[in-house]
Structure 1
Amino acid sequence: MSDYTPIDITPPELRPSALARHVPDWAEAAPTPDDVQNWEQRQTSALIPFSLDARGWPMHPHGRTGRVGRNLGKWGENRAADPIVVAGHGEDRQVLLITRDDIHEEAIPGGMVDPGEAAPAALVRELREETGVNLADHEPLILGQDVVDDWRQSDHAWVASTSGLYLLPATVTAVAASDALRATWYPFSSLTLLENAITAAGRTLYNAHRPLLQRALDHLAE
Structure 2
Amino acid sequence: MSEITETIPADRRCWSVSWPQYTPVDVTPPELRPSALAHHVPSWAEAAATPDAVTDWAQRQAVALVPFQRDAQGWPLHPAGRTGRTGRNLGRWGENAAADPIVIAGTGPDRRILLITREDIHQEAIPGGMVDPGESAPAALVRELREETGVDLSDHQSVILGRDLVDDWRQSDHAWVASTSALYVLPITVTATAADDALDATWYPAGSMAALETAIAAAGRTLYAAHRPLIARALAHLDR
Indicate the TM-score class for this superposition, using the shorter chain for normalisation. over 0.9
The separation in 2 between residues aligned to 1:113 and 1:184, in whole angstroms, is: 23
Alpha-carbon distance in structure 1 between the residues aligned to 2:32 and 2:198: 23
Cα distance in 2 for partners of 1:86, 1:166 equals: 6
TM-score, normalised via structure 2 length: 0.91
1:127 to 2:145 alignment: yes
In the TM superposition, what is the alpha-carbon distance from 1:2 to its structure 2 partner?
2.3
- 1:18-29 counterparts in 2 under 5 A? 18-29=36-47
Amino acid at match of 2:117: T
Partner of 2:83: 65
- Measure the CA separation in 2 of the matches of 1:52 and 1:4: 17
Aligned with 1:96 (options 114, 120, 134): 114
Q: Take 2:126 and 2:234, find their aligned partners in 1: how far apart are those partners?
A: 12
Identity %: 74
1:3 Cα deviation from its structure 2 partner: 2.5
What's the C-alpha RMSD, in Å, of the aligned pairs? Answer: 0.8
Q: Is the aligned partner of 1:168 residue 2:186? A: yes
Matches of 1:42 and 1:20, distance apart in 2:
24
Matching residue's letter, 1:203: R
1:17 to 30, 35, 57: 35
2:202 maps to 1:181 = no
Q: Give the match for residue 221 of structure 1.
A: 239
SS of equivalent to 2:101:
strand
Q: Distance in 2 between matches of 1:172 and 1:200?
A: 22
Letter in 2 for 1:167: V
Within the alignment, does 1:34 sit opposite 2:41 as a pair? no
Specify which of 22, 28, 41 is matched with residue 4 of structure 1: 22
Q: Give 4+ residue runs of structure 1 displaced > 6 Å after superposition.
A: none
TM-fit CA distance, 1:190: 1.1
**SS in structure 2 opposite 1:21?**
coil
Aligned to 1:193: 211
Matched residue of 1:42: which SS? helix
Deviations 1:73-108 (A, max 9, x none): 100000000000000010100000000000000000
Amino acid at match of 1:119: A
Q: CA–CA distance in 1 between the matches of 2:117 and 2:76?
A: 31
> Which one-letter code corresponds to 2:159 in the other structure?
L
Q: Distance in 2 between matches of 1:204 and 1:4?
A: 33
How is 1:67-86 mapped onto 2 (pairs within 5 angstroms)?
67-86=85-104
- 1:175 positional shift: 0.5
TM-score, normalised relative to structure 1: 0.98
Corresponding position: 1:108 with 2:132:
no
Q: Take 2:122 and 2:21, find their aligned partners in 1: how far apart are those partners?
A: 34
The amino acid across from 1:11 in the alignment is: P
The number of equivalent residue pairs is 222
Q: Structure 2: which 5+ runs fail to align? A: 1-18
1:142 maps to what in 2? 160
Deviation of 1:54 (Å): 1.3
